[in-house]
Amino acid sequence: MNISHEPKVFESRLGRVRAIMAEKNVDALILSVGHDLPYLTGYQAMPLERLTLLIVPRDGTTSMLIPRLEAPRVVDMPSVFTLVPWSETDDPVAMAARLIGGARTIAVGDQMWARFLVELLAHLPSATYTRAVDIVGPLRRVKDAAEIAALQRASAAVDRIAAQLHAGDIALIGCTEAQVSAELSARIIAEGHDKVNFAIVAAGENAASPHHHAGSRVIREGEIVLCDFGGTMAGYCSDITRCVYVGDIPADIADAYAVLKSAQATGVAAGKIGVSCESIDAATREVIVAGGYGEYFVHRTGHGIGMEEHEDPYIVQGNATLLEAGHAYSVEPGIYVPGKWGMRLEDIVVATTSGPLSLNNTSHELVSVVA
């Protein structure tokens, strides 16, 4: 399901991780559920109660603790890690504590289940715990050529679905949001993704809730319909938002959308190497504020994307990270008028030495559909 990698890719990543550990004085890195683990080993832990844990000491052998019944799932790479299977009556956290040994500073994977950290605290109470994102994040956020190609393929797939939406190929009138969401989900798979991550469909006043859960509300004529959807293809994510209007677009909606479209284009264009992430947010926001809708843009401008839908770098006030070639992120301003309507426009962008490269290229217009 993922980009296939040779052990040497993982050896190189692990070498760079260890260099950052040395620089930041971190003695051990521990990774479980989440995407740092497959980024460094090719293996993704099952999100279950049996602990899978990669333990990377600053020097010495990297170990992967794994439930014995899941060991056959792992592609063993002795040059990258040593597999340590544990049995049903073993205590895997005690085993982890022994493997971590005398580490004073331990960096913990962001999405590891808290229960394992709570149990580890009892074994190693005097250690200092920090976030693994400070170690693995700087690597993961700079995508290499194979990763950018994977993001491009996934983006092209959701672009095709957005074009189908614009063309009126997806039934809207009389359908519930949930039905349209199911149809988008089916098309996400049909267009080549392995997994649907989300398919937000929000009609009329529901579009004013940015993370609306598609429900039983029926779509009618004379409404805006916001569609925000994405999946995972060969290990990398897509994410796009387009709005359509069912019927003739009223003047107030058209005016607001013109501001939104201009803000989004400004945000994309601002993505030059060396600028701060927060300056991209500011440039985007400024257009919406100048257009008179500032109070209705209630979220950050975007998020990094890669193996995860949301990852570093975040395009948000307060993030002074400077844009580097290979950073991939969304630019997705929105305008949400509570109780009335909402709209958002989103592309995925990669920073390159020749300027921002938008991976989504379906029409950015608010298309009027009769479907």
Q: Find the shortest distance in angstroms from Cβ 15 to a copy of itself.
A: 25
Q: Find the shortest distance in angstroms from Cβ 93 to a copy of itself.
A: 11
Query: CA of 176: how far to CAs of 32, 93, 215, 241, in Å?
Result: 38, 47, 7, 19
Q: What are 91's two structure tokens? A: 């205590």
Q: Find the shortest distance in angstroms from Cβ 12 to a copy of itself.
A: 26
- Whether the CB-CB separation of 278 and 320 falls below 8 Å is answered with yes
How many angstroms separate the CA atoms of 71 and 317, rounded? Answer: 43
CB nearer a copy of itself, residue 29 or residue 249: 29
CB nearer a copy of itself, residue 218 or residue 370: 218
Q: Find the shortest distance in angstroms from Cβ 128 to a copy of itself.
A: 9
- Judged by DSSP in three states, 286 sits in helix
- Whether the CB-CB separation of 129 and 120 falls below 8 Å is answered with no
Applying CB under 8 A, the residues found at the interface with a copy of itself are 46, 48-49, 68-70, 72-73, 87-89, 108-119, 121, 129-131, 133, 208-213, 298-300, 303, 310, 316-318
Q: Find the shortest distance in angstroms from Cβ 195 to a copy of itself.
A: 11
How many angstroms separate the CA atoms of 222 and 262, rounded? Answer: 24
Query: CA of 99: how far to CAs of 35, 47, 55, 123, 296, in Å?
Result: 22, 22, 7, 12, 51
CB nearer a copy of itself, residue 52 or residue 264: 52
Which residue from 51, 164, 160 is spatially nearest to 109, judged by alpha carbons? 51
Angle at 53 between CA 52 and CA 54, to 5 degrees: 135
CB nearer a copy of itself, residue 66 or residue 162: 66
CB nearer a copy of itself, residue 45 or residue 367: 45
CB nearer a copy of itself, residue 110 or residue 365: 110
CB nearer a copy of itself, residue 133 or residue 287: 133
254: Cβ contacts below 8 Å, ≥ 6 apart:
366
Q: Find the shortest distance in angstroms from Cβ 208 to a copy of itself.
A: 8
How many angstroms separate the CA atoms of 137 and 215, rounded? Answer: 36
Q: Find the shortest distance in angstroms from Cβ 306 to a copy of itself.
A: 13
